[in-house]
Structure 1
Amino acid sequence: MLSGEAVADPNFANIVHDIALLNSLGVRLVLVHGSRPQIEERLQQKQIGTRLHHHLRVTDQDTLTCVIEASAIVRAEVEARLSLGLPNTPMAGSRIKVVSGNFVTAKPVGVLDGVDMAHTGQVRRLDSDAIRQQLDDGNIVLLSNLGYSPTGELFNIAAEDVATCTAAAVQAEKLILFGADQGVKDSSGQLRSELLTRKAERLVAQYLSSLQDSDKPHTELSRHLEAAVNACRSGVNRCHLISYKEDGALLGELFTRDGEGTMVLQESYEKLRQASIEDVGAVMELIQPLEQDGTLVRRSREVLENEIERFTLIERDGVVIGCAALYPFPEENMGELACVVVSAEYKGGSRGDKLLTAIEKQATDAGLEQLFVLTTKTAHWFVERGFSEHKVEQLPSEKKAIFNLQRNSKVFVKSL
């Protein structure tokens, strides 16, 4: 979804280049554009006042004329940009086909608390089959903030409503919302790269309750966050809030692990799981730097293949970024915590603690009473988490028999 503000922004040309690149990669794209500032500009030119009710624009006949004009101008601008194929530009030689049409059937909002909203509408249904057919043909589908009724009327619809309903109707993998803000920030001003739907829903509810006795228009960020929540609740896997002011934000959000904005999703895409034989290569790649600097004992691929099911992994968007292993010694009611590793890119996010908690639960479930670890360089980390130093003689006999004196590892034990 591209708001009218996004289309008017100087960075829009760069956004179009990124859209063209995605199209060339075979990504199936539906673009929904708004036209709020363009509508306001035409209303001011014609000296027509803006009337809001329940945070919605009341669209009388004169206002509808301005809405149609503004939407047509924005649509033409988007189509023109996507048609650009000049030499020495990122779109040189591109042949993008853009298709618009009456894909959106609208219905009137009607009368709200005694106020006739006139031509203000909402989505009634989407011709999802026709949209999919255009996508199958390699076309980009362009939708506006206008909807059409079976009686031939036009309705002014919020672009967020069109985008959300369309994403759900075509079972989109992602809904991407361009706004002025980079995304959602916490109380300290830090960008939230990920937000679960239930948390986003609470934030929207808190904001709306603060406007209960006001008829001010909702902020752009609140509209986008609410749209993301509605889309996720309607089956869209992920929604992304990114800035139209930032060059490369679209590609950065899609093709880097942490993205450039805020992703709203039903469940965290960073999860703990047990390893399987398919994970051997990923674990080897993860632990190799620590084997090279002597922090970890080297493990051959054959050893890892035999022991991989002892490993617990942290997976982030399909990539293994952390691991830890549990080796039980049931005769002594002890377990060894080994190979605790978090990728250097993701340290500082309590992931090591998550791995430790998972291993402790596994050990407890197995009836073990103590957890021990051998370490040469990370003693303080374990001490801070309840481990205390013990002598080698207190290790299980099987482990003691293969203890490597040359490494001179320290032994730390924690009671469970």
Structure 2
Amino acid sequence: MANNDYINWFRASSPYINAYRGKTFVVYLPGEAIRHSNFHTIIQDLALLNSLGVRLVIVHGARPQIDEQISAAGIEPLLVERTRVTDAESLPHVLHAVGATRCVLESALSTGLPNSPMHGADISVLSGNFVVGMPKGVIDGVDFQFSGKVRKIADQNLVQALNNNAIVVISSLGYSLTGEIFNIPASEVASEVAIALGADKLITFIHSDGLLDTHDNLVRQLRVSQCPNYFHANDKNDTSIISSLKSAYTVCNRGVPRAQLINFCQSGALLGELFTREGHGTLVHSDSYEEIRPATIDDVGGILGLIEPLEEQGILVRRSRELLEREINQFYILELDGTIIGCAGLYSFGDSDVGELACVATHPNHQGYGYAPKLLNKIEIEAKNLGFKKIFVLTTQTAHWFIEQGFKPADISDLPAQKQSAYNFQRLSKAFIKNL
């Protein structure tokens, strides 16, 4: 990355840095990720999040490590619908594999060699019996023995640890009131921890970039209501990705605003997903994840970053920062995860009952998801509240979209007199009008 590119990226990431400070992220790191060559890079990125004030809980799995231990002991593994049946013979090997994996993770988080990305990080790592487990029981005639499920999460103890600026590491083990230990799917533990904490995000590391649609394109974001359409696994998504999507669906339905699937094989995927508009994975979000609100002076920078590329293409009329600051009260913005991804202005002309819809923009990576029509609907509601009977728009390149939204072609003479006198004959914008 060239020096100027780095500087621009760093500036662009500042809204995310501010938005994430003090937030709680639960990170699910499967055993496959811990064995991958990219593992230490992931740890460095997690350490960076910690240094930026993000409260982190890392839940780790150990499936391949357990498989290796059980195989070395000559024990035949028994899986029922991808769930391991943990019997008394295999339990000690499960405990050994999980404990050793946790130590690897804690050791990596403790790294601080000079000239390394984690030099001076001085991370406090805390583990404990935060998961109360119970037996999975007998299902369809199969006794799962020491395979368990989450009974409850000691969330108050977790909060106390996070308040002390520690990164909390949780294994896939649950401890019962009778002193038994149960082997619990780590993905289930991660989901229950995120729900119990009311976390801001659940981040799940997977072996690919994310969910694929029927055309092999990466699905960058999904509303919770869209998730069930993908639950029937097909040749585009293997069962592990569908399982991760189901976990995301579950937590978002139970109070966690968003969940993200991120590739553990790709260096920097975590930072790319969290600190760039483009992202690097699949985001699942609840319906409350988006917000349309009046713009404030603090939003000027975000709006400029959104509209400047469109101005360069001639789609929008150029607006200076000074002009935008003066007119900011005319604007509405659409936010996703605290980031401005859409905007529109609504202008009045004296006593006229016709208002102008202007500077309508949606970030390219978020087009096609229905955000622009929602923003337009908000503008129309506000226009009615202001007493407008009609709104008009001038456009050079997006006429068809406005026609699809109910606008009709109009003459310049149909516009308020003040707008007619200011019409730019060099742009030759076409006018469209809509009755409210």
How would you bin the TM-score normalised by the shorter chain? 0.7 to 0.9
Question: Which residue does 1:240 correspond to in 2?
Answer: 260
Residues 2 and 389 of structure 1, relative CA distance in 2, 3 Å threshold: closer
Query: C-alpha deviations, 1:68-104, integer Å up to 9, x for none?
Result: 1111111111122122222221122332222222221
One-letter amino acid of the counterpart of residue 110, structure 2: S
**SS at 2:358 equivalent:** strand
**SS at 2:29 equivalent:** coil
Gaps of 5+ in 2: 1-27
Question: Which residue does 2:47 correspond to in 1?
Answer: 20
Question: Which residue does 2:31 correspond to in 1?
Answer: 4
Question: Which residue does 2:12 correspond to in 1?
Answer: none
Correspondence 1:253 to 2:269: no
**SS at 2:398 equivalent:** helix
Question: Which residue does 2:142 correspond to in 1?
Answer: 115
Query: C-alpha deviations, 1:132-189, integer Å up to 9, x for none?
Result: 2222222221111111111111111000111111112222211111111221111112
Question: Which residue does 1:175 correspond to in 2?
Answer: 202
For the Cα contact (< 8 Å) 2:278–2:365, is it kept in 1? no
Query: Separation in 2 of the partners of 1:242 and 1:34?
Result: 16
Greater Cα offset, 235-244 or 404-413: 404-413
Query: Separation in 2 of the partners of 1:367 and 1:26?
Result: 46
**SS at 1:107 equivalent:** strand
For the Cα contact (< 8 Å) 1:196–1:268, is it kept in 2? no
One-letter amino acid of the counterpart of residue 244, structure 1: F
Correspondence 1:40 to 2:67: yes
Correspondence 1:382 to 2:416: no
Query: Separation in 1 of the partners of 2:366 and 2:253?
Result: 29
Q: What percent of counterpart residues are identical?
A: 42
Q: What is the CA distance between 1:278 and its match in structure 2?
A: 5.6
Gaps of 5+ in 1: 211-217
Query: Separation in 2 of the partners of 1:32 and 1:42?
Result: 20
One-letter amino acid of the counterpart of residue 399, structure 2: F
For the Cα contact (< 8 Å) 1:328–1:363, is it kept in 2? no
Identify the match of residue 422 of structure 2 among 397, 403, 412. Answer: 403
One-letter amino acid of the counterpart of residue 413, structure 1: F
Query: Separation in 2 of the partners of 1:18 and 1:64?
Result: 33
Question: Which residue does 1:134 correspond to in 2?
Answer: 161
Q: What is the CA distance between 1:41 and its match in structure 2?
A: 1.1
Question: Which residue does 1:412 correspond to in 2?
Answer: 431
Greater Cα offset, 278-287 or 251-260: 278-287
Question: Which residue does 1:226 correspond to in 2?
Answer: 246
One-letter amino acid of the counterpart of residue 41, structure 1: E
Greater Cα offset, 15-24 or 385-394: 385-394
**SS at 1:18 equivalent:** helix
Question: Which residue does 1:314 correspond to in 2?
Answer: 334
May I ask how many residue pairs the two structures share in their alignment? 401
One-letter amino acid of the counterpart of residue 340, structure 1: V
Q: What is the CA distance between 1:63 and its match in structure 2?
A: 1.7
Question: Which residue does 1:214 correspond to in 2?
Answer: none
Identify the match of residue 266 of structure 1 among 278, 283, 286. Answer: 286
CA RMSD of aligned residues (A): 3.3
Query: C-alpha deviations, 1:188-213, integer Å up to 9, x for none?
Result: 12212211122224423x34xx9xxx
For the Cα contact (< 8 Å) 2:300–2:324, is it kept in 1? no
Query: C-alpha deviations, 1:310-340, integer Å up to 9, x for none?
Result: 4343333333343333445698764433333
Query: Separation in 2 of the partners of 1:321 and 1:203?
Result: 25
Question: Which residue does 1:163 correspond to in 2?
Answer: 190
Residues 221 and 287 of structure 1, relative CA distance in 2, 3 Å threshold: closer
**SS at 2:90 equivalent:** helix
Query: Separation in 1 of the partners of 2:311 and 2:32?
Result: 52
Identify the match of residue 67 of structure 1 among 91, 94, 97. Answer: 94
Q: What is the CA distance between 1:261 and its match in structure 2?
A: 0.9
For the Cα contact (< 8 Å) 1:197–1:267, is it kept in 2? yes
Residues 98 and 357 of structure 1, relative CA distance in 2, 3 Å threshold: closer
